[in-house]
A = this chain, B = another copy of it.
Amino acid sequence: MAMHQLVEYTDASAEVRAVYDDIMATRKTDWINNFWKAIANDPATLRRTWESIKQIMAPGVLDPLTKEMIYIAVSATNQCPYCIASHTASARNKGMTDAMFHELMAVIGMANETNRFASGYQVEIDEQFKQ
């Protein structure tokens, strides 16, 4: 149903294959999900996006699972079905338990609620928060 042909490994250029190979090696997996096959129609975007994600989602002062949960928070807020499905799967692979998912969703829901109280009640920022 997608309007954009998915670029399969066997049909991919050497440039695209190099990114696919790096994705599979980095993620220790043997398949490429549709997101990458779709943006592979634009090799420049494929490469730039993968290089950025690889760098950003790597272990840092935040661990990879925390980063996946932040990804889910953004994706659920934006109502992006693909992103929710793929990053929930990734988070589970990195150890997210049911209990963690439930707390994550509770925070996402509450934040989306209070964001609208803050705007609707036209709350001004406290001086204490400006330093």
Residues of A within 8 A of B (CB): 1-4, 31, 33-35, 38-39, 41-42, 44-45, 48-49, 52-53, 55-57, 60-62, 66-67, 69-89, 97-100, 102-126, 128-131
So how many copies of this chain end up in the complex? 6
A111: shortest Cβ distance to chain B, in Å? 4
From DSSP, what is the main secondary structure of chain A's interface residues? helix
Partner of A130, one of B42, B85, B102, B108: B85
Q: Which of A38, A48, A129 has the most CB of B within 10 A?
A: A129
- Give Cα A44 to B110, complex, Å: 14
Residues of B within 8 A of A114 (CB): 35, 49, 53, 83, 109
